[in-house]
A and B are shown apart, each in its own frame.
Chain A
Amino acid sequence: MTEKWTPREVVHRNYNDHPPAFAPGYKTSVLRSPRNALISLQNSLSEITGPVFTHDDLGPLDNDLIMNYAKDGLPIGERIIVHGYVRDGFGRPMKNTLVEVWQANAGGRYRHKKDQYLAPIDPNFGGCGRVLTDETGYYFFRTIKPGPYPWRNQASDWRPSHIHFSLSGEAFAQRLITQMYFEGDPLIKQCPIVKTINNDDAIRTLIAELDTHAAVPLDSLAYRFDLVLRGHRATLFENRTQGAAR
């Protein structure tokens, strides 16, 4: 890539918009959360740069989870389109961001060697896809709506239907993994993983809305899910003289 860029700092993260590391209602976090405070850095080149992805990294069916693992027929379940925009905190489009998704099938079963849930595998559904955002930050993929599933936290805990999202951004400091939930799902407000976030506005950012305007008649419903990554500040990256005190 030879395009000239102005190196820009990434705005600090507001931890009130995120779950804390230690969230005992989600039991696995108890032994997997640091006890020390994070050490805050000012951005250097190591944080404001990150991997660059291109269409050469992807295959033609990578954003079509209905077809990308179909063997002898179509997968069973609700056919949906998931689409939206990825922006930064200042509302600028995040172009060329790698969006990777994974999910369970319509019955809540994952195609993973460690998943033992008794609901069956769908022979025609893999459950993963990926797409690059375009010049306007837009992405879309097509899939089957995942089912809820039980998990060992409290013995009666069930995850709401959800799709896992991973976003690369332009800078390593923007790297984000999250989960998308579906509007109206009554399991959302009971879920210990959702409830790791202590901020209702932040939880609302994870709920996709039914979008009948984007539905394909007699074919697929649609859900709209926009995402926001940390903003790039417009000011210059280095504004001190070399050798000046930190």
Chain B
Amino acid sequence: MKAYLPETASQTAGPYVHIGLAPDAAGFHIFEKNFGPVLVNGHTQGERIILEGRVFDGSGTPVRDVLLEIWQANADGRYNHPADRQEQKALDADFRGWGRSCSDFDTGIWRFDTIKPGAVTGRDGRMMAPHVNLWIVARGINIGLNTRMYFSDEQAANQKDPVLNLIEWEIRRNTLIGQREQRGNDIVYRFDIYLQGEQETVFFDL
């Protein structure tokens, strides 16, 4: 056997990704329990927020068949996963920290109902600013794209964030900041993603 097995090759999720990952969006009901864009229940700790945006292609057209997943820490800055050993921080049994959302077939708008995450300790004990990890797949995307959303009202923490500071083109760091707005009683962070072109979002190789 080889010393290290090559990873199975990625392929595009295609235009009908909803059938497998969000069948109700494809137009039929099959599973009793479905994964979706709501990460909170009545008991989840933390400030309720909505993340909302669109994904644009290189011509500026909204991508209307995109699927996104987010992965984030809880309000205390701890991930609901056994490899997170920040034991001084509380786990929240009512927060898995993961969700899945499809863009609307007409408008291209996607959204998540979640909480604002706390800060997580990064490498070498350096604090990372609060952020949400995103993964994006669609027809035409051969391998899932990874990015992060940071929060516009966390400027001081963002300036010290070790990942944002790794981006040597300072102007590109702005592409990762979700903009806070109040809409009625809701706190919404708008986060548009540009796959290609002038305003291209920063994507990471994790």
List residues of A whose CB falls within 8 A of some B CB. Answer: 1-8, 10-15, 17-21, 23, 26, 28-36, 38-52, 57-59, 62, 68-69, 87-91, 100-103, 110-115, 126-128, 130, 164, 166, 170-173, 175-179, 193-194, 196-197, 199, 201-203, 205-206, 227-231, 238, 240-244, 246
Contacts and interface: CB of A to CB of B under 8 A. Distances in A.
Contacts of B31: 59, 62, 128, 130
A126 B145 CA distance: 28
- Mostly, the A contact residues are loop
Given A35-B197, A45-B121, A242-B125, 20 more contacts: A8-B83, A29-B142, A30-B140, A33-B141, A41-B206, A46-B79, A46-B133, A47-B206, A57-B33, A91-B1, A102-B16, A113-B26, A114-B65, A126-B23, A127-B20, A175-B144, A197-B9, A238-B123, A238-B124, A243-B124
Interface string B137-163: 111111111001000000000000011
Contacts, number: 292
Q: Report whether over half of chain B's contact residues are helix, strand or loop; otherwise say mixed.
A: loop
A175 B135 CA distance: 9
B20 A101 contact: yes
Contacts of B23: 126, 128
Interface in B59-88: 59, 61, 63, 65, 69, 71, 73, 79-86
A31 B80 CA distance: 36
Interface residues of B, number: 84
Contact of B124 (A36, A52, A57, A244): A244
A49 B84 contact: yes
A179 B41 CA distance: 34
21 contacts: A13-B205, A17-B6, A18-B9, A23-B142, A32-B139, A33-B196, A36-B200, A39-B203, A41-B204, A46-B120, A58-B33, A90-B5, A91-B5, A102-B20, A111-B19, A130-B31, A172-B135, A172-B206, A193-B11, A196-B142, A238-B123
